[in-house]
Structure 1
Amino acid sequence: MKTISRTAAALAAAAVLFVAAGPVAAQEPDPPVETSTPFSTPNTDDCPHATSPPPAIDLSEVPKPGETAPTPLPVPADAVGGEQLGYCGVVVPDGAPALPEDISATGWVLSDLDSGDVIAAKDPHGRYRPASTIKILLALVALDELDLNTTVVATAEDANAEGSAVGIGKGGVYSNFQLMQGLVMASGNDAAHALSAQMGGDDATVAKMNAKARSLGALDTRTATPSGLDGPGMSSSAYDLALFFRAAMENPTFARLISTETVQFPGFPKDPNIPDDIDRPGFTLSNDNQLLYNYDGAVGGKTGYTDDARQTFVGGADKNGRRLAVTIMKGDVLPIRPWEQAARLLDYGFALPPGTSVGTLVPPESVREVTSTRTAAPTLASPPDTPSAAGERETSLEEGGDTAIRIGIAVVGGLVVIGLLLWARQLNRRR
């Protein structure tokens, strides 16, 4: 067989590529780069966080000496809350209007607190760090276990707890109800420490929080610290936070706590071991959730932030007897703050008719243990034209068949081109 020239080989290769890829002109050009846009919403269509949160940027999740990092929680074969909630991209009802443009959160869930309907979502089961929004879960455990009228004397360990603080001082006397106010209204890690100390300490409290999460059907959640500080294995999801908030809002005490704007909080005595120390007077404690002050019908919520978790937020509102909630994970303050993003999504939800749903917040009695798991793709990919994940898998198989056909056509086309080139060369020689 004679060797084909380099030019002929290049032409043949180009023909093969053309046949296999199809006409390039039919593809849409890349959109222009908008240099004025100050943010971009992360694309989660390929399920980058199906099993674990994004990599940590600090040493907060490095295990203690002698310990190992826990393995990721299993991903249920059937998405909790319905098949559509197994998708990782944006999930909206059929015929729904476009979502607000200012939502930069990586994952979020918009839900109905009363019916349990999930109205819309983005990466609802994607796993992220909850930061202080996990204090809702701590509040659920504490409300079940502690007498709110009991008073405790704060320790130095309580006062020196790492992170945000309500302002507890060593020797201060606080009721558990006041500690709950500091926990929910001001996200006090010092209050979280004082509460968890009464429940057996941090490790015991974390175990109780994880058990409570499982009982509510929150299978994406593993708490590492009572307060929400990052730690090895810490994860949750926007869906799980919606479960926690709905369960908490069924408790009248919690509902009263998060809707309180201001309250008087106790001071604490001077430390006799510190020269010239003075008594600290009581002060006015203000709720740190701006949605409560700025959104009509707001019922309150919970804020959160760590370097690894970024901005997290939970909030809800009641309009004409209809209560909706928004949970946001791995957000940012661009282009607007998380509570403002939540407000946009609440407006979106209230504009849709009751009963609009892409899934449901499961009731605790329907929760089952994880007996089988699935891989991150393709069953967790963004929803195709048909809402069925089974349909997506079938489409993938069909596309595989089409690819095989295209490859076959390409090979045949390449051989035809080569044959024509050789035939033309032979004719030239005869002439």
Structure 2
Amino acid sequence: MSTPRHTIAQLCAAVTAALPVLLAAPAAVAAPQAPPPSTAIGGERLGLPGVQVDPSADAPALPTDLTGQSWIVSDATSGDVLASYNPHLGLPPASTLKILFADTVLPKFDRNAVHRVADEEIQNIGAGSSLVGIKENLDYRVEDLWRGVFLSSGNDAVHVLSHMNGGIQPTVNEMQARADALQARDTKVVSPDGYDMDGQLSSAYDLSLFARSGLRNPDFRMYCATKEAMFPGAVDRNTGQRGSFGIANTDRLLGKYPGLIGVKNGTTTNAGSTFVGAAERGGRTLLVTVMHPASYQRVYDETAELLDWGFAAAGKVRPVGRLVDEKQAGGEEPTGQAGGTAGAPAPPPHPASDRPAADAAGDDGFGPGGWTAVLVGVVVAAGAAVALRRRAVARAGRTWR
């Protein structure tokens, strides 16, 4: 059977003329696509830049003099985020990373246990580190070491406890695993004490997750709320008696801000000032994290201002996100928790994959094989055009039906 060339041309022209109709069809039946998945842990708005708050008409205004590069106000009990500013911005955490260290290691040792410090346990501590004053070849109770961590932000105490826990690197690995379990995906742990290290980052959101988890431990809560304590000193060579000296919590709000539970402050050259504060008032516990404000003192002032605002705004603002819960056993995320990588855009929907068409071999005389080739070619061309339309529609936010 042979087919005249003019017939082939007419068929091709007819199909070509029909292509605009085929391409227009999806738009006519398109329906609005469901909102894309959240781009940040805790809710889509927490991944957006700038201030996020959803107040009612009678809600108080946020403070206007805030200089922190990142901050967040949340309810420690419900996890509701009342307001935020770039909460997933990755920044050096300084000693506030000790919150994660404590949440990871504190449950492992009896606070009344005694440990004799070996010389190597207090070596290789970063230059300029804050120290509580631990000496080698002396015994320390675990609770003394933790006071050294929380009150004096002692990197020497962190190193001793890390060695008790199997070493510096194993402790770093455990902290990273703990951060992952808490869904703190902005956090990269390099040192257990928060000392400035290349690549070490966290965020206001993640630090709030660590604090919320830590505060569930009564010992953690006790240590971070302790304002002053006595710390074991050296042995007097003349009397053989061991002395002690006083240490004070470096948290400048503790004992000054009404209802402050504490948590942790931190300052380094690279990180600037960072603070995580928790306060309780009227049966409500709020968490505020402020990172990298304009000056050292501002971190406390801005935390106090945000706590004041949070207590005044409670019940008058709608949550803009939430602090997610720890992953369930088996690595599953709790139902209803937002997933995804903080700050990363959600991947676009994948268009339906086109089935590959087999190559159609035809002859110059348009015999039976050539006829089949032309029809296949025309259909493939039409299908490719429709597929292109599908992609364009998907990019425009419509669903192909």
Partner of 2:48: 87
Match of 2:307 among 346, 349, 352: 346
Match of 1:109 among 51, 72, 75: 72
Taking the TM superposition and a 5 Å limit, the aligned residue runs for 1:139-288 are: 139-160=102-123, 161-162=125-126, 163-269=129-235, 281-288=243-250
Instruction: Extract unaligned runs of 5+ from structure 1.
Output: 1-75, 380-393, 399-431
Structure 1 residue 353: Cα displacement: 2.6
Q: Does 1:359 align with 2:325?
A: no
Paired with 2:74 and 2:339, the residues of 1 have a C-alpha distance of 27
SS at match of 2:100: helix
Instruction: Extract unaligned runs of 5+ from structure 2.
Output: 1-36, 348-392
Which contiguous aligned blocks of 4+ residues in structure 1 show a shift greater than 6 angstroms?
369-372
- Write the deviation string for residues 2-48 of structure 1: whole angstroms up to 9, x where unpaired: xxxxxxxxxxxxxxxxxxxxxxxxxxxxxxxxxxxxxxxxxxxxxxx
- What residue identity is the alignment partner of 1:344? E
* Contact 2:43 2:338 (C-alpha < 8 Å) held by counterparts: no
* Contact 1:152 1:175 (C-alpha < 8 Å) held by counterparts: yes
Residues 375/103 of structure 1: CA separation in 2 closer, same or farther (3 Å cut): closer
Percent identical across equivalent pairs? 40
Paired with 1:314 and 1:373, the residues of 2 have a C-alpha distance of 23
User: What TM-score does the superposition give when structure 2 sets the normalisation length?
Assistant: 0.69
More deviation, 90-99/355-364: 90-99
Paired with 1:255 and 1:280, the residues of 2 have a C-alpha distance of 29
Structure 1 residue 205: Cα displacement: 0.4
Count of aligned pairs between the two proteins: 302
Backbone CA RMSD of aligned residues: 2.9
- Write the deviation string for residues 255-305 of structure 1: whole angstroms up to 9, x where unpaired: 0111111111111237x9xxx9x9873111111111112101111120111
- What residue identity is the alignment partner of 1:127? G
Larger proportion of strand: 2
- What residue identity is the alignment partner of 1:104? T
* Contact 1:116 1:362 (C-alpha < 8 Å) held by counterparts: yes
* Contact 2:72 2:204 (C-alpha < 8 Å) held by counterparts: yes
- Write the deviation string for residues 329-355 of structure 1: whole angstroms up to 9, x where unpaired: 122327x43112100000000001337
Partner of 1:323: 285
- What residue identity is the alignment partner of 1:79? A
Q: Which has the larger radius of gyration?
A: 2
* Contact 2:40 2:340 (C-alpha < 8 Å) held by counterparts: no
Partner of 1:418: none
Residues 166/140 of structure 1: CA separation in 2 closer, same or farther (3 Å cut): same
Residues 124/179 of structure 1: CA separation in 2 closer, same or farther (3 Å cut): same
Structure 1 residue 321: Cα displacement: 0.9
SS at match of 1:282: strand
